[in-house]
Amino acid sequence: MPLWPIIAVATVLFVAWTLIPGIRWPAPAKSTLCRFWRGLVCTLSFLVLPIGQLCRGRLIKRMEPERLDRGLVLILPGIEGRSFLNVSLMAGLLDAGLPYAMEIVDWTTGCFMLAIYHLRASKRNRRVAGQIANRVVEYRRQYPGRPVWLIGHSAGGAMSLLTAEFLPAEPSLTGIVLLAPAMSSHYSCDAAMQRTELGIWNFYSAGDVLFLGMGTLVFGTFDGVHLPGSGCIGFAHRTDPSRAATCRLRQIPYRLGMISQFNLGGHFGCMHRVFVAEMIAPILRETPLT
């Protein structure tokens, strides 16, 4: 079957998804039909997810002054770079009415064909993580006391942990949300947790066997281990007892009930717009201004 009909349908539906009054974000879903429509179009957009690299403006960045004054969310994509996956994630946060500034920070080279290089280029990744950490420090300087979150998918989740490790020892982040992270299951999250106020949430799924099972077995995880990743089997983590009361690693396994939120348990389900609005946004929304 030729690909162009799928691209055409996905493009038309995506335009409707974003432009039709009452359906575009950030208006919350007002009916079951509206929720289903969003879910259907988001699912179809995943079929042509690399085209999301063309998204610009408000689809990838919401940095209005009033939002910046409420808080900041930096979204780190996987090794594919900016795509409809992370556009969907940001849309879900906006659907839920999250008032913070948001930006999709493409830490990759921007070339989809270099995906494996993005995964394993440790020297480059450390340099970019340091640059993202500097952005967090600068925001904290300009807006003290505001919530700051990192949300990372796949290798972007691993990049979130690495970024946190470049931050000052005192808490510089409110929290980190990992969605199917491509980090090894034995990687210690203690250093990253010490940079957060509330800790780390890890969403993982045993059904993610293609990318974080076989994929990391062959190509390795972000930290170079040829075993299933923590986004598939979770972290085999033991928190430093002295930090256990204030910094915790919360691991949320996939459940069949998440199918109702368009999350089928694979590598992309946790990025679905409906799932993000109903499962991820509440974690961030409950964070008060200090």
In terms of residues, how long is the chain? 290
Structure tokens at 35: 């929720």
- pTM here? 0.88
| Token pair 């929304």: residue | 285
State the pLDDT at residue 49. Answer: 86
252 three-class SS: strand
Count the Cβ atoms, other than its own, within 10 Å of residue 1.
Answer: 5
Identify the structural domains of the chain with CATH numbers, from first to last: 58-285 (3.40.50.1820)
* Tens-digit pLDDT profile for residues 234-249: 999 655 555 544 458 9
- Phi, then psi, of 25 in degrees rounded to 5: -75, 155
> Both ends of the chain: CA-CA distance in Å?
55
What CA–CA distances, in Å, run from 90 to 61, 97, 203, 204, 249?
Answer: 9, 11, 17, 19, 23
State the pLDDT at residue 285. Answer: 86
Q: Taking CA 215 as the corner, what is the angle to CA 214 and CA 217, rounded to the nearest 5 degrees? A: 60
Low-confidence ranges of the chain (pLDDT < 70): 1-30, 237-247, 286-290
